[in-house]
């Protein structure tokens, strides 16, 4: 059997196919070279550096598991930053996905001016991060900000937001809703693929809007939900720029998130080895999270045409 | 065809020979400058002056941006890649940290024994460029801090027309100056110890303490005097409410948007650059300048920042680069630091001349130079740790003693890793 298959394979490659194979490999080569040099090599090196005392110019000095031991046993801020990031991720991901789905459903209603509404909802996503962060500093301003002015109209005494260690993370979570434009586009595209005949037959059976949403729409766009869930996890755990601009990790380290602390160790404290071990811990967390989501996806993600 | 080729080869040879001859005459060095905006043109003028007076060296200046808080990622990667500039502009307080990591070349072999003493420079600026007995940089500029007080607000609060002379008086004045509205929100604040540009290490000096010693690298973060200082800082949070103050303060995002400029803050501990900024953005502000007072047994805690010039490891022309950065530290160039960059020179002779040229209010800041402090070693670490410690104390997460004890442990660890002892 084995021999037969091998024979067949050799026979199978015609001259044209061999030429195509060569051309294909040649065309793909630039990518592979780039990927190996600029992605694989740094990634593998950082794994090695994570076991070293490494300060960029000096030769890395192997110290075994010391970086990891220090992270888990001595570094108080490592735990705080990990907690802050997980807190942010756990609240931000479901919230932004729900908001993106709701917005996409609304923007999918065929009304006059639909493209204009879609543009408006997407607009914040193309605002540069630094500009929108500074804008949000003002929105969240406890004394003069528009948010607290609005809450005051409702008779609520608004919190200190970024000035209050208890409210600084919720403030950033709230701010994440500003960037749901990308998610909306994904869900809008997914909504176009929901087969109309399913709605029609459901209507014949007397299904209302709510039934249709839960029984048809959500299952049909569940692959898009899985995608945004994974991308959301990666994105939120690497949350960095707005902290850099808005809070510098304060007050009382309440917004010192993982990627921010990692950056500080690498470029401010010049401890690349330590920062590399932090990066690998984050990688393992993201990897486990992704595996978990993929494993669970067979229970809740529905691919059409699959039995 | 053959002829053409041989002619070409000869031509190429001649051109490259000419190049080599030119190179032997003139060395081109690259210089990275890190201040943006009008500072680029101002510095270019200084570089042009150097090039004119030094026919054998050509300095090519490039503006290379740093991250916020002077994180020199690009310089770091350039050094790692073995292609750094020949000289670079650098935050002086990081010199020990980068020198300890072997990122800079020591300058000793390019300095005369006399130059190695640094006697031309303000002593605390020279202390910052020496690491383990070797010189790693030449100071460029400095600054200094003091207490700015708003005379109009003092008058309105029924206070005398003078700055507080003791710390107790500062507390008393601050209380009289602080005004709340009917909802309990701060309208005007008297003084906030953690605002402005003073920071906890300076309060530690004010109370007679110290966070870490540059010469011995000994850490004294939880010294009783520091605990006393942090307790005093925390007393403001307790007295006025940390939420009330931070909510009020969040309205002022820094820079021009400063409560002191707007007459919303009675006193602020800040830097000499405020004089120029107030002239530009709040010219009508009726204010004056004084040293920040200290308690009995303490001292004037004012401190000075500033930048320097370094030669990275891997520089191709360290000798010429050293000549350039030394030139920038000489009296004439240092006068240009004031005239063109509008910063304070670190060369003592230049400073004595500049002292006579500046605004009388700036001169009041300058008067503190003999007692001013340089920054402690591993400054960026101490600075960040101190921000955390003050936050922990004013928000009541830890007692001042607990916060400082924890900082002591963390700093000891960091120093051990950095300086290896």
Q: Is B384 on the interface with A (CB under 8 A)?
A: yes
pLDDT at A2: 47
Domain-located, residue A184: yes
A56·B391 Cβ contact <8 A: no
Are A233 and A289 within one domain? yes
A270 or B139, greater pLDDT:
B139
**Average pLDDT in the A38-44 region?**
93
pLDDT category at B24 given cuts 50, 70, 90 is low
For the whole model, what pTM was predicted?
0.83
A-chain residues near B97 (CB < 8 A): 270
**Helical ranges in chain A per DSSP H:** 2-12, 15-35, 41-49, 66-73, 76-107, 114-122, 129-139, 146-153, 168-176, 181-192, 196-204, 209-212, 218-220, 222-237, 241-246, 258-263, 272-300
As for how many domains chain A has, the answer is 2
Using the Cβ of B413 and the Cβ atoms of chain A, whether some distance falls under 8 Å is answered with yes
Q: Which residue of B has its CA nearest to A138?
A: B251
Q: Which of residues 143-162 of A touch B (CB under 8 A)?
A: 143-144, 160-162
Show me where the domains of chain B are located. 2-142+305-371, 145-302+378-419
Q: Are A58 and B102 a contacting pair at CB < 8 A?
A: yes
CATH number at residue A161: 1.10.3720.10
Q: Are residues A131 and A237 part of one domain? A: yes
Q: Does B97 touch chain A (CB under 8 A)?
A: yes
Q: Does A28 touch chain B (CB under 8 A)?
A: no
Q: Residue B246's pLDDT band (boundaries 50, 70, 90)?
A: confident
CA angle A49, A55, A59 (to 5 degrees): 70
Fold match, B2-142+305-371 / B145-302+378-419? yes
Whether A129 and A179 share a structural domain = yes
**Can you tell me the distance from the alpha carbon of B135 to that of B310, in angstroms, rounded to the nearest whole number?**
10
Q: Are residues A79 and A181 in the same domain?
A: yes
pLDDT of residue A303: 84
Any domain includes A15: yes
What pLDDT score was predicted for residue B10?
A: 58
Whether residue A147 is found in the same domain as residue A207: yes
Element (H, E) at B51: helix B38-53
Q: What is the pLDDT of residue B278?
A: 94
CB-CB neighbors (< 8 A) of A244 in chain B: 68
Counting one residue from A and one from B, how many pairs have CB atoms under 8 Å apart? 81
List, for residues B144-193, the tens digit of each pLDDT value. Answer: 999 999 999 999 999 999 999 999 999 999 999 999 988 888 899 999 99
Weakest mean pLDDT among B21-35, B110-124, B257-271, B356-370: B21-35
Pair A145, A233 in one domain: yes
Predicted local confidence at residue A6, as pLDDT: 53
ipTM of the complex as predicted: 0.76
Check: CB of residue B275 under 8 Å from CB of residue B361.
Answer: yes
Q: How far apart are CA A41 and CA A139, in angstroms?
A: 43
Report the distance separating Cα A57 and Cα B127, nearest Å.
25
Quote the CA–CA distance of A295 and B293 in Å, as a whole number. 65
- Any domain includes A58: no
Contact predicate A252/B391, CB 8 Å: yes
Residues 204-243 of A with CB under 8 A from B: none
pLDDT digits (tens, 9 = 90+) for A228-253: 999 999 999 999 999 988 888 878 89
Q: How many degrees, rounded to 5, is the angle at CA A144 between CA A141 and CA A145?
A: 45
pLDDT over 50 (residue A307): no
Q: Is residue A60 part of a domain?
A: no
Domain with A141, as residue range(s), is: 69-300
Residue A57, domain member (yes or no): no
B101–A250: do the CB atoms touch at under 8 Å? no
In a domain, A126, yes or no: yes
Residue A61 counted as domain residue: no
**Residue A101 Cα distances to A96, A106, A164, A217, A221, angstroms:** 8, 9, 31, 10, 9
pLDDT score, position A1: 43
Average pLDDT, chain A: 90
Distance CA A141, CA A133 (A): 12
Closest residue on chain B to A249 (Cα): B388
A56, B249: Cβ pair inside 8 Å?
A: no
Residue B267 has phi, psi (to 5 degrees) of -140, 145
Instruction: Clarify whether residues A7 and A116 are in a common domain.
Output: no
Mutation test of the interface with chain B: which of A60, A167, A251, choosing the one with the most B Cβ atoms within 10 A? A251
Residues 51-90 of chain A with CB under 8 A from chain B are: 55-58, 74, 76
Cβ <8 Å between A55 and B251: no
Does domain B145-302+378-419 sit in CATH 2.60.40.1180?
no
A138, A160, A269 ranked by CB distance to B243: nearest: A160
Same domain, A17 and A95: no
Measured between beta carbons, the chain B residues lying within 8 angstroms of A137 are: 253
Residue A56 lies in a domain: no
Nearest-neighbour CA in chain A from B250: distance (Å)? 6
Q: How far is CA B148 from the centre of its chain?
A: 19
B2-142+305-371 CATH choice from 3.20.20.370, 1.10.540.10, 3.10.105.10, 3.40.190.10: 3.40.190.10
Q: Is A41 exposed, middle or buried (CB count within 10 Å of its CB: 0-12, 13-18, 19+)? A: exposed
Scanning every residue of chain B, which has its alpha carbon at the shortest distance from the alpha carbon of A161?
B247
3-state secondary structure of B304: coil
pLDDT, tens digit, 9 for 90 and up, residues B304-342: 999 999 999 999 999 999 999 999 999 999 999 999 999
Q: Is residue B108 predicted with pLDDT exceeding 90?
A: yes
Q: Is B299 exposed, middle or buried (0-12, 13-18, 19+ CB in 10 A)?
A: middle
Percent of chain B with pLDDT over 70: 93
């Amino acid at each position: 059997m084995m021999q037969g298959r091998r024979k067949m394979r050799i026979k199978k490659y015609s001259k044209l196919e061999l030429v195509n194979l060569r051309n294909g490999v040649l065309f793909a080569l630039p990518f592979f070279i780039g990927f190996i040099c600029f992605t694989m090599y740094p990634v593998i090196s950082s794994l090695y550096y994570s076991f070293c005392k490494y300060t960029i110019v000096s030769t890395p000095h192997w110290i075994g598991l010391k970086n990891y031991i220090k992270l888990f046993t001595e570094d108080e801020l490592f735990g705080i930053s990990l907690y802050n990031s997980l807190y942010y991720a756990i609240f931000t991901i479901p919230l932004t996905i729900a908001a993106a789905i709701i917005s996409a459903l609304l923007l999918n209603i065929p009304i006059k001016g639909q493209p204009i509404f879609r543009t408006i909802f997407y607009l914040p996503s193309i605002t540069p991060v630094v500009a929108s962060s500074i804008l949000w500093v003002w929105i969240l301003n406890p004394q003069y900000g528009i948010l607290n002015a609005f809450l005051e109209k409702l008779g609520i005494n608004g919190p200190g937001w970024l000035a209050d260690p208890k409210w600084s993370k919720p403030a950033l979570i709230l701010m994440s809703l500003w960037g749901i434009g990308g998610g909306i586009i994904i869900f809008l595209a997914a909504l176009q693929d929901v087969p109309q005949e399913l709605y029609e037959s459901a209507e014949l059976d007397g299904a209302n809007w709510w039934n249709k949403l839960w029984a048809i729409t959500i299952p049909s766009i569940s692959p898009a939900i899985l995608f945004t869930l994974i991308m959301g996890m990666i994105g939120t755990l690497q949350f960095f720029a707005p902290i850099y601009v808005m809070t510098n990790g304060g007050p009382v380290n309440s917004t010192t998130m993982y990627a921010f602390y990692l950056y500080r160790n690498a470029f401010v404290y010049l401890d690349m080895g330590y920062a590399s071990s932090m990066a690998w811990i984050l990688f393992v967390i993201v990897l486990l999270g992704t595996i978990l989501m993929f494993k669970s996806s067979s229970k809740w993600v529905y691919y059409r045409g699959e039995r | 065809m053959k002829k053409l080729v041989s002619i070409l080869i000869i031509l190429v040879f001649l051109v490259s020979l000419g190049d080599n001859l030119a190179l032997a005459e003139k060395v081109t060095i690259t210089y990275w400058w890190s201040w943006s905006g009008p500072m680029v043109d101002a510095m270019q003028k200084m570089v042009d002056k150097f090039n004119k007076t030094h026919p054998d060296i050509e300095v090519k200046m490039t503006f290379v941006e740093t991250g916020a808080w002077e994180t020199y990622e690009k310089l770091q990667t350039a050094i790692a890649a073995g292609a750094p500039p020949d000289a670079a502009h650098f935050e002086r307080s990081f010199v020990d940290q980068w020198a300890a990591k072997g990122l800079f070349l020591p300058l000793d072999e390019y300095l005369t024994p006399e130059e190695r003493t640094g006697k031309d420079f303000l002593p605390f600026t020279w202390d910052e460029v020496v690491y383990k007995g070797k010189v790693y940089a030449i100071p460029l500029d400095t600054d200094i801090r003091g207490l700015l007080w708003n005379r109009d607000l003092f008058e309105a609060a029924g206070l005398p027309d003078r700055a507080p002379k003791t710390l107790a008086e500062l507390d008393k004045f601050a209380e009289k100056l602080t005004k709340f509205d009917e909802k309990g929100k701060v309208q005007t604040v008297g003084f906030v110890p953690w605002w402005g540009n003073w920071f906890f290490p300076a309060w530690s000096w004010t109370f007679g303490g110290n966070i870490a010693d540059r010469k011995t690298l000994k850490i004294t973060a939880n010294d009783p005097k520091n605990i006393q200082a942090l307790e005093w800082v925390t007393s403001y949070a307790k007295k006025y409410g940390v939420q009330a103050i931070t909510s009020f303060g969040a309205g002022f995002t820094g820079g021009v948007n400063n409560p002191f400029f707007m007459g919303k803050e009675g006193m602020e501990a800040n830097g000499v650059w405020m004089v120029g900024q107030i002239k530009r953005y709040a010219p009508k502000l009726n204010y004056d300048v004084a040293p920040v007072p200290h308690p009995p047994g303490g001292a004037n805690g004012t401190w000075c920042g500033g930048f320097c010039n370094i030669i990275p490891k891997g520089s191709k022309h360290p000798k010429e680069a050293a000549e350039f950065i030394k030139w920038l530290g000489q009296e004439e160039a240092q006068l240009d630091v004031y005239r063109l960059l509008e910063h304070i020179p670190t060369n003592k002779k230049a400073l004595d001349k500049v002292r006579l040229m500046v605004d009388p209010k700036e001169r009041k800041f300058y008067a503190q130079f003999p007692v001013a402090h340089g920054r402690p070693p591993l400054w960026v670490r101490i600075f960040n740790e101190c921000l955390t410690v003050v936050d922990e104390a004013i928000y009541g997460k830890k007692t001042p003693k607990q916060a400082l004890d924890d900082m002591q442990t963390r700093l000891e660890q960091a120093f051990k890793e950095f300086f290896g002892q």
